[in-house]
Amino acid sequence: MFTGIITDVGHVLWTEQKGDLRARIGTSYDISRIEIGASIACDGVCLTVVALGDAPQNWFDVEISAESVGLTNIGRNHWPVGKTLNLERALCVGDELGGHIVSGHVDGVAEVVSCSDEGDSTRIVMRAPDALARFIAPKGSVALNGTSLTVNEVDGATFGVNLIPHTKSVTTWGDVGVGDFVNLEIDTMARYVARLQEYAA
């Protein structure tokens, strides 16, 4: 489990397609504190560490299944070398829950349709897949590229979020643009409430 609070911005060092997609990700994490088999959310995708190294910089390898590639923005651009990624290590018992409960199981991909500055902040409007739009509510939480964000408004399948300067400076959101595809994980509570309503009906 994760919180949606990004703790590092890594970048793709290389990828290799051999059965599943394998990626090497450069990081500033202390790799001596990461174990093989650990979970790290990479742009919101929960991935398992399969190798570690420290030359020429700290890095970890992950293997990404075809299903994960197909459901996420990895399938749109296959994570080119140099791409920056929001990283978060798995939640430990006793850690501060600063965002919301995030599983790292991406539900789909949203497309950025507009970006506009509002003071020092940036308003970003995205279009969600129709099947997921009903789970997104004003003032509710979503995880976008692994970042816990509050929904400001909803209009059909489009919804907006606001990014403060701090968020843009410590994540990849400072580089977002119209037409970008973003990993979307809906709030777990919204999913279960909708499921209960189906049974009630």
Q: pLDDT, tens digit, for every residue of 148-187?
A: 999 999 999 999 999 999 999 999 999 999 999 999 999 8
Task: Tell me if 129 is assigned to some domain.
Answer: yes
- The owner of tokens 């997921």 is 132
One domain, residues 62 and 119: no
Residues 6+ away with beta carbon under 8 Å from 166: none
12 shares a domain with 71: yes
Residue 198 has phi, psi (to 5 degrees) of -60, -45
Question: What CATH number has the domain bearing residue 164?
Answer: 2.40.30.20
Domain count, the chain: 2
Residue 117 lies in a domain: yes
pTM of the model: 0.92
* Domain final residue, candidates 89, 118, 151: 89
User: What pLDDT does residue 192 have?
Assistant: 63
d(CA 144, CA 161): 10
Is residue 101 assigned to a domain?
no
Range of the domain at 191: 108-200
113 plus 196 within the same structural domain = yes
